[in-house]
Structures are given as structure tokens and as C-alpha cells.
A and B are shown apart, each in its own frame.
Chain A
Amino acid sequence: MLNARALKIFLMSTALLLVVVCLSFARTDHKEYRDAAPEDCRDCHSGSGVMENHGAFFMNEHRLLAEKASGNCADCHAQSFCLDCHNGGGLAPDLRKSLSRRGEYMPRTHRSDFISIHPLKAADNPRNCYRCHESSFCSDCHNRQTQRNRAGMSFKRFDAQSNHIPVFDSPGVLNSGWVAFHSGEAKRNLQSCQACHPQKGDCTNFLCHPNLRGR
């Protein structure tokens, strides 16, 4: 059923493309501009119908351009330019970038002392982390730290006495305040739960959600 739905959406999208009447347009090869200064792009692009890019916020913008099947990133950049940030590496020297402890380049979005700051940046748009990291990247580290009971890995507190481990008013009866806290946190950023609990079995109180499927 899922496949049928996906196929339907795909075919409808394709049909949409085909009904559009087209004019001839050739992509411009940019290889000869590879060494041009970005501010020189304006000379051609201003009023050309193709907005210039590589500006101050290109870090935010580049994804849509890179996803285009007919994009021209490769006119100037090798794949290493992408992978240096997305998968580590370090082929192109960018001296502004620090190295991770594993010797990989870290994108400049990873500000100084990123271990301390990363919960803030991960909250901004939780998907940002997953564009480069597998979910195991989070859970592997969080699990190690939790097992060592490190002070810096203390959980968010629900109140002064308890942390996010379930609070029971009486045997089998959960504290309503804890329930509200728990569901609120999960709704806001469910992916952060996955950082420590990648598997269903990691949660010791799954009696609360008996009908949940999956692993």
C-alpha cells in the first residue's frame, strides 16, 4: 500500500513536469570561472534571471542547489569539497576549520567547544545533524557517557528531586506532572530521545506504551 502511494505521487509529479511547455535553455558551464572572486559573479548574474549565490548565507542555501540533478557544482568542486564537511576527510585545506578528535575536519557550524554547545545547535533544526551523521553517531557516544555516569551528561530535570526516570505516585500510577514533562519533551524533539535510546528495548518502562510496534 505504501508503495502504491509512493508510485502515485511520483507519477503525478512526473506528469506535472511533462505538461509544462518548455523553451530551450542550456546550462552554462562555469569551469572557466572557477578561480573568479565571488563578488565578480554579480557582473553576469545581476539581472540575468539566475540569482547569484555563494553569499553570506550560502551554508544554508547550498543544499537545494546541490540536490539538483543538473546542478553545476562539479564545474568547480570535486566531491571531496562536499565530503570534507559531510563525511570528514580533509583534502581541501581550510585553515578556519578545527579537527575532531578523530582527525576529521569539522564544519564551521561546529563552534568552539562543540561538545558543550551541541545540544543548542542540535535543537535549532534537528535534521541538520542527520544530514551528515547516522543516528548511531549520537547514541554510541551518549550511551558510553551514560554508562560512565558523567556529571556533564546529567539528564534534564523534571523537578529538583527527580530526573526523567519515571516518577510514580503509587505502584503502577505515574505522576501526572512527570507524564506531561515526558510527553512534552518527546514531542518537541523526539530525535533527541533516540540519541540515548536507539532501540525500543532501551526503555525499561515500555509497559506504558504496550501497543507500540517496531524495534
Chain B
Amino acid sequence: MTKLDKAGKINVYGYGRVIKQTSTSFEDRPELADDTFGRLYYFYLDYKDVVKDHLDAKAGRTYISSAAVSGTIDGLHLNVRNLGPVGVTLFGGRNVLFDNKSETGTGGDAIAGASVYLDTIKSTHIEASYGRKYTDSDLARENVGLDFSTTPLDIVNIYGKLQYDTVSDRVGEFLLGAKAAPLKSLLVRGEYFQSRPTFDKFSFYNFFNVNNYKEFSFAAEYQLTREYRVSGRYAREDFGGDSTANVYDVGLLARPIKDLTLNASYEKRDGFAGQLSGVRFNGTYRVAKAAISAGVDYDDFRRELSREGNARKYWAGVDYELNKMFSAVVRVEDNTNFAFNHSYQGFAAVNISY
């Protein structure tokens, strides 16, 4: 429901699904067959300019995201803007946890937090955030987050993030990166990322001192012409000790003729935990009100000291717009893999937009 008021400041957004599974093949999990499942993903009142130019509010079930903590809450999210040079967000409510197709969270699961942000300097954003998660009314997580992004030169952007876990008393996540556009059609990016596993406060895993995961990556994308783009990425992953892995990605995006989009990508990974070589091709062609898509995925993998094999997936689908309100989608897929000679799946849906 949108534009509940004349100015369009008050809107209600909702999204949920109810599912009844008709298959009887559940591999010893009869609980999946017995019930009708449902999820309410979000349902909130969005009120812009509660106080003109200073306060936006969301109330109800909504997704919140910050450097310190994120999740879906049944609660309140306030964005207090233009407090001089800064803005402040406040959020809190019951933490909505999904398992299978239903909710598992209790009244004691909660998220609360706040952030202070500055983006009044042109092309610079700095934000400090603080968040807590409660499980069964016990404090499970307490994080402080810092993130920034700045573009000191028109062609260079520097960004970073730090998440500090006060329960484990360690930096859980650190990211520093730079993005540059030395040519109009060329973007390059270099990043350093490191993380250390952190756990809920009551978990005994908190008390182990473990290695950092470190990753250096470099990526580039080049727009050859308006119709063709090529891209590549390399990442060096370091798991501590002698355990490392190299990951390569290359891709091509092409629009050789009007209404036709083609994608091709190749990924290669070699090192700790195993090897993977995978290619993907897919394309979409628009004909009048229909978008016809099809694709092929092929992956060859070697897991360290366990299974190996290849997987092939073929899929095709049509998205047809009947009119502004109704559209229909049909998709079919065949997957040949380690577990199945042929695993078929498909779905058909009618979408109503109003």
C-alpha cells in the first residue's frame, strides 16, 4: 500500500509467502510434509519526514543493516537526519530468525543498535555504529562498526570497514580497498580483507584463539564498447600456516544486437579445501512482452580428501508481461551432478503488481 497520505510520505510495504509442499519425498523429515509453511519477510510502515527534513521512521517487520549488526527485526528504525553535519540512526526490536520455512526466534531474541554518520562532505561518508544481539534474553553479540568511503580525487575512491567484537575482544572483520578509474572505460579495484571467526557470547568457541583469514584481491573491468564489457578478478586467500588458495574470475557481458544480452564467466579456484573450475553461459532475449532466457553451467570440482566430480545445469525460462498488473514466469532446469543423473525442477508463477 503506497501513498496513504496526499504527499506520499506514508507507505506500507509487505512481503510474505505461504507454502504447501505436495511432494512426499522428505528423507526422514516428515515435519516438512505435514504442515503449511509461511514466512513474513517484511511488513512495515514507512513514514518519511515525520519531522520535515529531520526524521524518517520505519515501524514493523523490517530489515536493518549496519556495519556493527544486521538482521530482520520486529521493531522500530529511526533515521534522524541533518543534525548539523551528522545523522543518527536508532533501531531495535525482536530478532526474526527463519529456519526452513518458518520462524524460530523467541521473544528473547533481539537486536538493538545505533549509528552516527557523516556524509555532508562531498563524496565522503563516515559512519560509526554499535549493535547488540540477544539470544533468549542473554547478550550474545556486541559489535562496534566503523566504515568510510571517500573520493579524494575524481578518479580514486578509498573505502574501508572495521567490525570490532567486544565479546571476543578482537577485530572480527577488517576491509580496506581502493577503486580507480584511470580511463573512462576502465575500473580497477584492489582490496585487503581479513576476518577472524567470532561467536556468540555463550559459545565455548569464543575461547579459542584462531588464525585470521586474509585475502588480497585485484579486479578490473573494461567497457570495450557500449555493447561489450570484459572483467577479471584475482584473489589470494590465506588461511594461516601453509594453507592458501588462488581464485580467478573472468567474464564477458555482450549485447551484440538489440534486446539480446549474453553473459559468459569462468571461475578457477585452486588451493586449501580443493579445486573448482566452472563456466557459465546465459542469455536473455526480449521479444515484445516476453523475455526468454536460457543458460548452461558447468562445474568441475575436487574437494580436499572427499568427493569430486562435475555438475552440469541447463535451464530455460520465460517472463511474460501480460499487462501492467499481471505477469507470468515459467522456468525449468535439469541438473546432472554427483548425487543425481538428472535432477529436474521447475516453477510457474503469476505475479500481480498493484
The interface of chain A, by Cβ under 8 A from chain B, is 2-3, 5-6, 9-10, 13-14, 16-18, 20, 22-25, 27, 39, 42, 46-52, 55-57, 60-61, 64, 66-70, 78-80, 82-83, 86-91, 93, 95-96, 98-99, 102-103, 111-113, 115-117, 119-120, 123-127, 134, 136-137, 140, 144, 148, 152, 154, 156-157, 184, 186-191, 193-194, 200, 212-215
Query: What is the total of A-B residue contacts with beta carbons within 8 Å?
Result: 322
Q: A20-B126, A79-B42, A194-B199 are in contact. Are A48 and B303 (CB under 8 A)?
A: no
Question: Do the beta carbons of B187 and A55 come within 8 Å of each other?
Answer: yes
Complex Cα gap A111–B249 (Å): 14
Q: A67-B70, A91-B15 are in contact. Are A23 and B121 (CB under 8 A)?
A: yes
Complex Cα gap A191–B193 (Å): 18
Question: Do the beta carbons of A117 and B311 come within 8 Å of each other?
Answer: yes
A204 CB → nearest B CB, Å: 14
A72 CB → nearest B CB, Å: 11
**B293 to chain A: which residues have CB within 8 Å?**
95-96
**A99 to chain B: which residues have CB within 8 Å?**
345, 347
Assess whether B116 is interfacial by the CB under 8 Å rule: yes
Q: A42-B223, A51-B181, A69-B127 are in contact. Are A112 and B117 (CB under 8 A)?
A: no
Question: Do the beta carbons of B121 and A20 come within 8 Å of each other?
Answer: yes
A215 CB → nearest B CB, Å: 5
A-facing residues in B251-304 (Cβ within 8 Å): 251, 253, 269, 272-276, 278, 282, 284, 291, 293, 295, 297-299, 301, 303-304
B119 CB → nearest A CB, Å: 5
Complex Cα gap A68–B117 (Å): 8
**B155 to chain A: which residues have CB within 8 Å?**
47
Q: Which of A22, A89, A191 contacts B85 (CB 8 A)?
A: A22
Complex Cα gap A55–B187 (Å): 9
A30 CB → nearest B CB, Å: 15
Question: Do the beta carbons of A57 and B219 come within 8 Å of each other?
Answer: yes
Most chain A CB atoms below 10 A, which of B173, B301, B339: B301
Question: Do the beta carbons of B142 and A96 come within 8 Å of each other?
Answer: no
Question: Do the beta carbons of A56 and B239 come within 8 Å of each other?
Answer: no
Assess whether B205 is interfacial by the CB under 8 Å rule: yes
The interface of chain B, by Cβ under 8 A from chain A, is 13, 15, 17, 19, 21, 28-29, 32, 39, 41-42, 62-63, 65-67, 70, 72, 79, 81, 85-87, 89, 97-101, 104, 115-123, 125-128, 130, 142, 144-147, 149, 151, 154-155, 157, 159, 161, 164, 166-167, 169, 173, 175, 179, 181, 184, 187, 189, 193, 195, 197, 199, 202-208, 210-211, 213, 215, 219, 221, 223, 226, 229, 231, 233, 237, 239-241, 243, 245, 247, 249, 251, 253, 269, 272-276, 278, 282, 284, 291, 293, 295, 297-299, 301, 303-307, 309, 311-313, 315, 317, 319, 327, 329, 331, 333, 335, 337-339, 345, 347, 349, 351
